[in-house]
A and B are shown apart, each in its own frame.
Chain A
Amino acid sequence: MSSSVIHDLGFRHYDGDRLGRSWKFRSLMVETLRGIFGLGRPAKSKVMPWLLATFMFAPALVSTIVLFVAGSGEHLFDYRAYAMNMAFIITLFVAARAPYAVSRDLRDGTMPLYLSRPVTYGDYVWAKFTAMTIATFMIIAAPITVMFITAVLAELPWGENLGAWAGGLMVALFVAMLLSAISLAIAAVTPRRGLGIAAIAASLMIVGAIALILVEPYGPTGDLAITPYLGAVDPYLLVNGIAVAFFESPGWEGLPTATDAGSGLIFLGLYAVIVSTCVAVLMRRYQKVGGA
């Protein structure tokens, strides 16, 4: 007979209400979103996201100055093509911040800590994806909203600008979701932060360069009917296709793109395939961590 005993140290069980699953999702999401912008972190972590977010405003400000000083009567850039014009900065933003959002937990081995709480890997992936999407959406939506406000102040036609601005917000959302999905998926398979940044930036820049070569009218396949779709290897041009087909975007840099709703559906289908593939990659990556 053993004389062992567990002493009652007075710890009590918590029997009260617990905040539900959606709360956990929200906490993880909000914390990631704050972290992406370096909020609640040392000044060093704030430099890059805010610098890039500031760059995003540059064309909007230039356009506003031209609007007021020169009285040009319209903004220099279309709301719906703003993201395509700023593709490089958006690429750098997701490249710099997506590894922060996901790869640290993998490298530091903190994943099992999350997953030993009632947070499933699915919740985790969706929370990170949502946070990254919101962050990216914000840096695109903010400057075009500034453009809309200044357009109203300059007494440009109301209805026209309102419609275009709303379209611009939709385009921003499409870009944000797609870029977040791609960058998080790449970051999750390159757990070294520096390499993650390089891999995301390089991949996005390269597909961008390939797309330009493919769709340029004098390019090797310029005369083919599939030319507009070739551009879709670049995520920004893919969304540009959607923007032209559904949100009456004037397009970007006069690149050939399909304008009818039918081809818009093809773009939309492609879009869905890419986003869901990336999310599936993320899910698989974190499922493995959870199981191990």
Chain B
Amino acid sequence: MNSVIITLTRRALLGKRRALLLMLLPALLLGIAALVGAGNGADAAGASGFIQGFALGTLVPLICLLIGTGVIGPEIEDQSLIYLLAKPVRRGTIVLSKLAVAYGAAVVFAVIPTVAATWLAGGREADVLLAFGVTAALASVTYVTVFFLLATLTRNAVVVGLLYAVLWETVLGGYAPGVRALSVRQWSLAPAEQIAGTQAATWGIAAEVGLTTGLIAIAATIVAGIVFSSRRLARLQLNTSE
């Protein structure tokens, strides 16, 4: 990892309007969680439904999409990435440094807000908080890596990412059970089901895949994402305009 790239990336990510959008999403999650909590009281099952649907289903992928594409997309779009590429720095180092910033941002803007929202929405038990914290962390890291790779592959990374996160995981998953097993959300939910233990059914936490499968799938996705992004950067042709 390279501290200069980390600093440059952090400043670009947290600059100006993207940061505003990044703050807005978790703020919204917390606001609505408070409303849900006020309506339901301390009801772990209700909170669980809300967190799985709204937080893990919509906001976490969305925030990760903004972060994952945000740490590299703009530099590819305006070609300023050339200043990093024309340096004696390995491509893998560039990828890892940028991803480190992205993971950090995902913890701040996605994972912590999810845990806080769980509490606000009425999931006050330690196990519920832990379960959704772990799920949010695993999902965030995986989503960020995947969306980062997408940003190095296509200028339409945001749209393709949303198609995956919403159409594939939510809509298609509803019709074809096979699709649901191929889902970052389901993989990340597997540890939550373990943590909830006997309470899993009451809290409505049920993952489509087992713990081992989920963790292996997540690890494989992250490693593949890093490897392919590094390769892609080595071959990126910045000066080909549309």
Contacts and interface: CB of A to CB of B under 8 A. Distances in A.
A44 B240 CA distance: 12
A190 interface: yes
A52 to B, nearest CB: 8
Interface residues of A, number: 30
B74 A198 contact: no
A10 interface: no
A205 B62 contact: yes
Interface in B40-86: 54, 58-59, 62, 65-66, 69-70, 73-74, 77
Nearest to B151: A194
A190 B17 contact: yes
A101 B18 CA distance: 21
A198 B66 contact: yes
Nearest to A208: B58
Nearest to B39: A220
Interface string B198-217: 00000000000000000000
A56 B237 CA distance: 33
A29 interface: no
Interface stretch (B92-100, B158-166, B186-194): B158-166
In which size bucket is the chain B interface?
20 to 34
Contact of B158 (A41, A198, A219): A198
A55 to B, nearest CB: 8
B28 A206 contact: yes
Interface stretch (B2-10, B30-38, B104-112, B176-184): B30-38
B54 A48 contact: no
A129 to B, nearest CB: 21
Contacts of A45: 242
A220 B34 CA distance: 11
Given A198-B65, A198-B69, A201-B159, A88 B21 contact: no
Contacts of A210: 28, 32
A92 B163 contact: yes
Given A194-B73, A205-B58, A95 B36 contact: no
Nearest to B63: A202
B167 A202 contact: no
B28 A194 contact: no
Contacts of A193: 77, 155
Q: Which 4 A-B pairs give the minimum distances between C-beta atoms?
A: A220-B39, A194-B73, A197-B158, A96-B159
Given A92-B162, A213-B54, 16 more contacts: A44-B155, A47-B156, A55-B167, A88-B171, A92-B163, A96-B159, A194-B70, A197-B158, A199-B17, A202-B25, A202-B62, A206-B25, A206-B58, A209-B54, A210-B32, A213-B36
Interface of B: 17-18, 21, 25, 28, 32, 35-36, 38-39, 54, 58-59, 62, 65-66, 69-70, 73-74, 77, 155-159, 162-163, 166-167, 171, 242
30 contacts: A42-B242, A44-B155, A44-B242, A47-B156, A55-B167, A88-B167, A88-B171, A92-B159, A95-B159, A95-B162, A190-B17, A192-B74, A193-B77, A194-B155, A195-B18, A195-B21, A197-B159, A198-B21, A198-B66, A198-B69, A201-B159, A202-B21, A202-B25, A202-B62, A205-B162, A206-B59, A210-B32, A213-B35, A220-B36, A220-B38
Interface of A: 41-42, 44-45, 47-48, 52, 55, 88-89, 92, 95-96, 190, 192-195, 197-199, 201-202, 205-206, 209-210, 213, 219-220
